[in-house]
Amino acid sequence: MFQNEERINSYLESICDEENALLKKINRETYLRETMPHMMSGHYQGRALAMISKMVSPKRVLEIGTFTGYATLCLAEGLKTDGELHTIDINEEQQERVQGYFDQSPYSSQIHYHIGDAFEIVPTLEGDFDLVFIDADKKRNLIYYDMLVDRVPSGGILMIDNVLWKGKVFDENPDNQTKQVLELNKTLAADTRVEKLILPIRDGLFVLRKK
């Protein structure tokens, strides 16, 4: 999105806190093993997610889109000592490796890793969520949001990733996928139940605070 995006990202990463050893391992192995490693939140966005989680200090967190678990562990950093995090992903091929990462973390007993369709799993999870991070099938972002916005208490946070869509939201003739992102952004901007802003982190992070 920026002319010197690589240099900016490198600078931002040099200024923020370092990744811990486990996050570095996940980062390295994701780039070695995955065909689309850019789907991982990565160092800078991970620190942003951890910071937001620590500011919220959530009792319950929901993540839709686990991938290799990098963002999951960042979000877990802010959990209350008796808190729990539910993360959902549809890719069962990664399950053993990602569960292994969680088992190596200090949050192993607090993370509940669900494999399957989030549209079916979310209704089976009882209670509200203080912090929600949606980073999965972009066509369903608005569906997930509608499912969850009333399950976030006042002061709770919802976050949705990839809302600048590689800068395609500025295209004069957007493709269908970009149109879906634009429709999502327009709908959220008009939702009076939440305070909202987009942080231009990586591919755009929509942060919404429940009134």
Residue 202 confidence class, pLDDT cut points 50, 70, 90: confident
Q: What are the structural domains of the chain?
A: 5-210 (3.40.50.150)
Give residue 131's pLDDT. 98
Predicted pLDDT of residue 2: 52
Mean pLDDT of the chain: 95
Please give the pLDDT value at position 167: 87
CA 32 to chain centre: 22
* Residues 95-149 pLDDT 10s: 999 999 999 999 999 999 999 999 999 999 999 999 999 999 889 999 999 999 9
SS3 label, residue 152? coil
Confidence of residue 3 (pLDDT cuts 50, 70, 90): low
- Burial class of residue 34 in the structure, from the number of CB atoms within 10 Å of its CB (0-12 exposed, 13-18 middle, 19+ buried): middle
The CA distances from residue 168 to 13, 37, 100, in Å, are 25, 20, 36
